[in-house]
Structure 1
């Protein structure tokens, strides 16, 4: 028994070693939590950016459809004329006055 008491303890059995291993384990765990949190936040940000892009693409497509519809309606209206003699092909467009030709002193 005396020999067992005098024999040096193994390094793994010392309290300092156990404390170092415990601290290192906690540090590694906290690093993993930190990385997981950043990965989660990156995924959330990417998802929000994708939603914003998709919404913008949807709005652009809707605007294009509205513009095409408006162009179609205007071209149909232009082809039909306005019925008052002032549409395309209806009269001589004599009422069209360009800004450079405005006569401010003219009487109506």
Structure 2
């Protein structure tokens, strides 16, 4: 992601845009029991099946508070202005789990 951010900044500067670009990162997440996580991975595979990269995306799913906090910190560390956590579980308890992870 750092390379992509730097590419965006270089193109921004090349075209003499004022200020700086807003850099946004996204992480795929699901917290909870293994059944919740596995359902999220199935949803990812269903959604990304046509890309040939479904397993890669599903394997990158962040499923622990530690990995989510690290990813957010790493994205901020490379200049992200915003990090979107895309939750792949319809489980309403995800809201509290994610809030407890980050706050």
TM interval, short-chain normalised = under 0.3
Q: TM-score, normalised by structure 2?
A: 0.18
- More strand per residue: 1 or 2? 2
Higher gyration radius (CA): 1
Give the alignment's TM-score, normalised by structure 1.
Answer: 0.17
Task: Determine which structure has greater relative contact order: mean sequence separation of CA pairs < 8 Å that are 6+ residues apart, divided by chain length.
Answer: 2
